[in-house]
Structure 1
Amino acid sequence: MEMLGKGKRFNKLLPYLLVAPIVIWIVVTIFIPLFSVIKESFYSTGFIGTKGTFVGLDQYKSTLTSSAYWTAWKKSLIWVFGNGLMQTVLAFSVALLLNKASRMTNFARNWIIIPWIIPTIVVAIFWQWIFNGSYGIFNNVLQSLHLIDKPINLLGDSFWSFPIVIFINTWHWFPFMAVIVLAGLSTISQDIYEAADVDGANVWQKFWRITFPSLGKITFALGLVGTLWSFNIFDTIYILTGGGPAGASTTVPVMIYQQAFEQFKIGQASATSIITAVFLSIFAFFFLKYAGPKED
């Protein structure tokens, strides 16, 4: 009876023991750093490791009343919308083209993911070489075609730098979205398309009436995760432009980095991070509530 009782207790504890490692990992890697950031947001900490004075909500007020913060938000929204639009159009276009079985499409399916798996630093280096104002191949081609008289430093131009970085990031990430959409297309029965052909539906009607609605759950997931993911992209922008020139590509994540590690305002950066996280959480809440796919 004693052994039976121990066996029952062990069976009750087993699920908790199996879950414990991941719970500990989450606490160590997410909650402890999060609480540390919240704590620092109330102190005027400068350098990492130093102790600042308690300032309460002053840094939150400073962020919310800062024109630079809202300008960075404007840049972030342009960044998210630009990437979202270009990646969606490219991903759906490529996925629809590759959804037809042939030797060429099978080859393309295997290699389309290549841009996505290339490390960001490598992507940044070769696109910097392509768009370089002195020796870049892009300027060389334009001059050879007599479209421009002198080289253009696109990544150093206050107008063109941000659109170019959006283009580079789109090139890097759209293959991942295309693969997800392609996987979704494979789940749609061909019988539905054959019935639509009998009814005389054209390509556009089949896309809007069959393809797009059938991918509702996939597009919802990509819309939520992709938006939050895109908003928080830092490395591509910082490596290519550093947020410049003259703040032309300074999004919110870049601004937070600059506050923390260039201006040495860890406390201010922490407050800015918390405020931004709250706004993103509000967006996620309303997106889940109102944009989620309706259950049949």
Structure 2
Amino acid sequence: MNSKTARSRKNIPVLPYLLVLPITAWIVVTIFVPLFQVVRESFYNTGFIGTSGSFVGLDNYTTLIFSSEYWSKWGKSLIWVLGNGLLQTVLAFSIALLLNRPGKIRQWLRTWVIIPWVIPTIVVCIFWQWIFNGSYGILNDALMSFGWIDKPINLLGHPFWSLPILIFINTWHWFPFMTVIVLAGLTIISQDMYEASSIDGANKWQQFWKITFPQLNPILFALGLVGTLWSFNIFDLIHILTSGGPAGATTTVPVYIYQMAFQSFQLGKASAASVITSLLLLVFATVFIKFASPKEE
């Protein structure tokens, strides 16, 4: 018995472990070590990066949990996520269904539809800021030329319109990604199902809800989970265009945490906010997987 055990231990391959060792070390260094530091800092009242604060226990957590300011940023984030999700889904489905039809021009459009997605975010921000700027934006110039407005409107600086405009810009930037994924899913659906349903008298709308949508459930589930978490954590576009303004109108949770850490110099409190936010997103992901995952037939 002992000889067999010793022989089996000698036969354990070492090469696979050596191959995964670099990526494992990279994950530990770049993810788990910073994560540990964030959790540790959340129990201190650290101000500047590089300074040491005093231990305050759960004070940072209790302050945030009972902070109306923190939860109001969650409200902005929910509007941001829902707005992006709704617009991107409708636009991606519409374009994907159009591009799924045969035709030479549609083959050409399949290539060019991804252009907004491959443009760097900073370029997208400069491009749309030039369009919506209240002083020299071409949108205001066009609207005044048609006589629709009397004076320029600073949409990115408007308390109400700033967040919808950012949602529109982010949707324009990211909808091609969802379009490509949905289009890939449409191409693997058997055309025999559509032909059989047409013989049975089903119209296009019935085919969509009875064939297309159910067949895309696994893809939509993955997009719903990853897309929601991805959209929630978008920081760069908002920070570049509005920096969370005007008067906090576009301050989502990631922007709020950044401002708390690097503008208000409350690193400990920002770390606690990061931990709370991460836990809430983890709860969302768990619930989403449990109730929205495709059921095996």
Is the TM-score greater than 0.5?
yes
User: Aligned residues, how many?
Assistant: 292
SS across alignment from 2:250: coil
Mapping 1:253-264, distance limit 5 Å? 253-264=254-265
**Correspondence for 2:144:** 143
Cα distance in 2, alignment partners of residues 284 and 132 from structure 1: 38
Q: CA deviation at 1:9?
A: 3.8
Identity %, equivalent residues: 68
**Correspondence for 2:3:** none
SS across alignment from 1:12: coil
Moved more, 126-135 or 10-19: 10-19
SS across alignment from 1:48: coil
Structure 1: where are the runs of 5+ without partners?
none
Q: Deviations over 1:13-44 (max 9, x none)?
A: 22211221111111011000000000000011
Cα distance in 1, alignment partners of residues 263 and 106 from structure 2: 47
Residues 38/275 of structure 1: CA separation in 2 closer, same or farther (3 Å cut): same
Q: Deviations over 1:214-236 (max 9, x none)?
A: 00000000000000000000011
Amino acid at match of 2:115: I
Cα distance in 2, alignment partners of residues 7 and 288 from structure 1: 39
Residues 7/114 of structure 1: CA separation in 2 closer, same or farther (3 Å cut): farther
Q: CA deviation at 1:6?
A: 10
Amino acid at match of 1:53: S
Amino acid at match of 1:213: P
Mapping 1:40-55, distance limit 5 Å? 40-55=41-56
Q: CA deviation at 1:173?
A: 0.3
Cα distance in 1, alignment partners of residues 170 and 135 from structure 2: 23
Q: Deviations over 1:185-222 (max 9, x none)?
A: 00000000001111111111010000000000000000
| TM-score computed with the length of structure 1 as normaliser | 0.96
**Correspondence for 2:283:** 282
Q: CA deviation at 1:7?
A: 11
Q: Deviations over 1:241-267 (max 9, x none)?
A: 000000000000000000010001110
Mapping 1:148-163, distance limit 5 Å? 148-163=149-164
Amino acid at match of 1:47: F
Q: CA deviation at 1:160?
A: 0.6
SS across alignment from 1:238: helix
Q: Does 1:99 align with 2:84?
A: no
Mapping 1:58-97, distance limit 5 Å? 58-97=59-98
User: Cα RMSD between the aligned structures?
Assistant: 1.3
Amino acid at match of 1:224: L
Q: Does 1:242 align with 2:247?
A: no
Structure 2: where are the runs of 5+ without partners?
1-5
Q: CA deviation at 1:12?
A: 2.0
Amino acid at match of 1:135: Y
Cα distance in 1, alignment partners of residues 25 and 67 from structure 2: 38
Cα distance in 2, alignment partners of residues 203 and 134 from structure 1: 47
SS across alignment from 2:14: helix
Cα distance in 1, alignment partners of residues 75 and 131 from structure 2: 28
**Correspondence for 2:215:** 214
Mapping 1:5-44, distance limit 5 Å? 9=10, 12-44=13-45
| TM-score computed with the length of structure 2 as normaliser | 0.96
Q: CA deviation at 1:8?
A: 7.7
Amino acid at match of 2:268: G
Q: CA deviation at 1:145?
A: 1.4
Amino acid at match of 1:155: L
Q: Does 1:180 align with 2:181?
A: yes
Cα distance in 2, alignment partners of residues 107 and 35 from structure 1: 49
Q: Deviations over 1:36-80 (max 9, x none)?
A: 000000011111000000000000011111111000000000000
Amino acid at match of 1:184: G
SS across alignment from 1:148: coil
